[in-house]
Amino acid sequence: METYFRLLKKSQVLEHLLAMNSYVHSSDEQLRKLQTEKAKTDSVQQKVFYELEKYQQQFVDVQRCFLELIEAMTVLCVKEEQLTLGTTPDDAVVYAKRVAEERTVHDLQVVTHPLYVMQ
C-alpha cells in the first residue's frame, strides 16, 4: 500500500510538472508574440516620427518660400509707391529693398494680431 501511495504521489508530481511545463511553454509563446508586436509597434512609431519630422521640415520650407514671396511683393509695392511719389526708378528700387523686410514684418504682425479685421 505504501508503494501505491508513493507511486500515486510521483504520478501527481509528474502531472503537476507537465502542467507547469505546458504553462511555461504557453507563456513563452505569448512572450515571443508580444515581443514581435512590440517590435512592429516600435517600427511603426519610428516611421511616424520620421514622417512627422519630414512634414514639419516641408512646412517650414513652405513658410520660408511664402515669406520670400510676400517680401518680394512688398518690394514691388513699395517701389510702385515711390514711383507714384515721383522718385526715380533707381532710387525707388534702392528704397524698396531697404525697407521691404521691415515693412513685411510690420504687415505680418498687423495681419496676425487677434483684433485685426480684414478690409
| DSSP one-letter code for 117 | -
Residue 18 lies in a domain: yes
The pLDDT of residue 2: 74
Return the number of other C-beta atoms located less than 10 Å from residue 96's C-beta: 21
Tens-level pLDDT at each residue, the chain (119 residues): 677 666 667 777 788 778 888 888 888 899 999 999 999 999 999 999 999 999 999 999 999 999 999 999 999 999 999 999 999 999 999 999 999 989 888 888 888 887 766 65
Element housing 45 (H / E): helix 2-84
Domain count, the chain: 1
Q: How far is CA 22 from the centre of its chain?
A: 45
Buried b (16+ CB within 10 A) or exposed e, 68-78: eebbeebbeeb
**C-alpha cell recorded at residue 20:** 507547469
The pLDDT of residue 45: 96
101 lies in which domain range?
Answer: 2-112
| DSSP one-letter code for 23 | H
The pLDDT of residue 60: 96
Residue 90 lies in a domain: yes
d(CA 8, CA 75): 99
Residue 7 lies in a domain: yes
Residue 119 lies in a domain: no
d(CA 79, CA 95): 7
Residue 55 lies in a domain: yes
Residue 106 lies in a domain: yes
